[in-house]
Amino acid sequence: MDRRKTKAVFMAFGTKGDVYPLAAIAAAFASDQKQYDVMLITHATHQSLGSHLAEKDVQYYPVSSPPVLSADQNNDAEGNAGSSFFLQKRKVTRDHRQECHSLIERIFGDGPSLDGDLIVINFFALEGWSLAESFCVRCIVAAPYVVPYSAPATFEGQFLRGLPLLYKYLNDAPSGKVCWKDVIHWMWPLFSENWGSWRSVDLHLSPCPFTDPVTGIPTWHERPQSPLVMYGFSKEVVECPAYWPSKVRVCGFWFLPIEWQFTCKKCRELSVYDSFGHQQAKDDLCSNHIELQNFIKTMPIFIGLSSIGSMGFLKDPYAFICVLQTVLNTTNYRFILFTAGYEPLESTIHTIAAEGSFEQKSWGEDCVYLSNGRLLCFSGSVPYRWLFPKCAAVIHHGGSGTTAAALQAGTPQVVCPFMLDQFYWAERMHWLGVSPEPLRRNHLFPDKSDDRSVQETAHVISLAIHDALSSIVKARAAEIAERISLEDGVSEAIKCIKEELGLN
């Protein structure tokens, strides 16, 4: 069947910080380019995006795979992460790719591709690269974080030995064509055996990109363009080095519309647009969250670990709460803890609260107070961009989204990374001077729950907070916030996509 509307598919997998920025771009692109049908493919876990996307004329397509798999949740009888995890991961990966293939076939399989069709992927949605090739659709990369995996040191040597013709093909590429810089920067996982069988068996492509499926010889006759790679962070924070491909663009941070980030509908309705169409929110929350609003007025220290709990890193929630209470017993701080819906942590909080006379009187629908009202545990969500300017400091895991919001707010940070690009952001924040030296995992989550371990961990956190609240760090955080205040990352990303597609 002939179709007249071009299609733009955004594929984003991972946690909220990996997915939400691409949802923001998809919504903005749909508003800017009415001639497109726009879709977002992501995990069913992020279904709360569906209604907001629909209001922006973006169709939401869920896949059943989880954002993350934790090896700690699949231990064998001896407590070790055994083969069961790897078997489960293999099955989840196979099912995930099958679902992605079915959805793209459903979207683009109704006839020949149009010149403006495109698939936009993040680095956790590499399926989209091969699917775009299979359906003859342009592919663009959009990532709110730096490349999460660097190529192994042995990769280039192995590539040269195994694929000498392709290595020459990529190194001798003319300007503007896909080249070795593209491969070593982000494409190198596409050449692993993990993708080869899926490409050949399911998609009927060459197991190795840029080679003929029959002869295995590089496609000298048809060199593809170097793909556009957009990064959703500020040039004031991360410079674009010369060894990156020439088609890399650093746009500025990508934030969701602020009204999308309230779990409370009444609070969401208070969000407003200014005369320029930018999202802002009133300082007041709804009547059901007066206590939360009043607590925030005391300039508490924010603690949020996003999906770290569900990834299996928070093994002893009770010890973690004891650490926070110990810090409060020896300082004048107040904490607001976002539990991110992690059930073991929330269950522990309610158990501790039920044992205290003060806490029993201080429960709300999504708020629980501990430590005589100095620790507020919040299970809902309010926008970080709204909350962080009202906090004295932000303690977090180094996720790209939380880091961006803290930078924009000009709020000092304490960063404790756990995996992937979180280590990069933790080091980068320290280098920029907006946070003290990064914490190690056991600096936040003690290895043991005995009194000595809790006391030692609390001491480390107290020192880190003290350093973060120094006048030097505060001034540096305010300076960075001022420098990035005029950036509009989403608009810049839309501009880059339009230039790539030749749209006016």
What is the reported pLDDT for 264?
Answer: 79
Residue position matching structure tokens 């020459």: 168
Q: What are phi and psi of 75, to 5 degrees?
A: -75, 150
**pLDDT at residue 326 in the model:** 93
What confidence category does residue 450 fall into, taking pLDDT thresholds of 50, 70 and 90? confident
282-288 long-range Cβ contacts below 8 angstroms, 24+ apart:
285/382, 288/264, 288/364, 288/365
1 domain-assigned: no
Domain that holds residue 107: 6-70+90-253+488-501
E strand intervals along 371-422: 375-378, 393-396, 413-415
Instruction: With H, G, I as helix, E, B as strand and everything else as coil, classify residue 83.
Output: helix
Interior CA angle at 389 toward 388 and 390, to 5°?
A: 85
Q: How confident is the model at residue 268 (pLDDT cuts 50, 70, 90)?
A: confident
CATH number at residue 178: 3.40.50.2000
Same domain membership, residue 355 and residue 460 = yes
- pLDDT at position 272 is 53
Mean pLDDT score, 359-369: 67
**Helix/strand/coil for 141:** strand
| pLDDT band at residue 394 under the 50/70/90 scheme | very high
pTM: 0.89
Q: What percent of the chain has pLDDT over 90?
A: 62
| pLDDT at site 76 | 46
Query: 405 with 276, same domain?
Result: yes
**Residue 150: its pLDDT value, please?**
82
Q: What is the mean pLDDT of the chain?
A: 88
pLDDT digits (tens, 9 = 90+) for 147-204: 877 888 999 999 999 999 999 999 999 999 999 999 999 999 999 878 999 999 999 9
pLDDT at 360 over 80: no
User: Is the domain of 382 the same as that of 412?
Assistant: yes
How many domains, in total, are found in the chain? 2
Calculate Rg over the CA atoms of the chain.
24
Question: Among 341, 364, 347, 401, which Cα is nearest to 143's?
Answer: 401
Q: Which residue has the tokens 């790679």?
A: 229
- Residue 271 reports pLDDT greater than 50: yes
The predicted model gives 76-81 an average pLDDT of 49
What is the arithmetic mean of pLDDT over 220-233? 93
Indicate if 349 and 234 belong to the same structural domain. Answer: no
Asked whether residue 83 is domain-assigned, the answer is no
Element at 369 (helix H, strand E) = strand 367-370
Q: Which of 11-15, 283-287, 352-356 has the highest mean pLDDT?
A: 11-15
Please indicate, yes or no, if residue 76 is contained in any of the structural domains.
no
Task: Assess whether pLDDT exceeds 80 at residue 435.
Answer: yes
Q: Are residues 20 and 113 in the same domain?
A: yes
Q: Quick one: 245 and 278 in the same domain?
A: no
Question: pLDDT value at position 126?
Answer: 96
* Structural domain contains residue 85: no
Q: Is residue 78 part of a domain?
A: no
Q: Which amino acid is at 115?
A: D
In a domain, 81, yes or no: no
How much is the average pLDDT of 51-64? Answer: 95
Examine residue 471 and state whether it is found in any structural domain, yes or no: yes
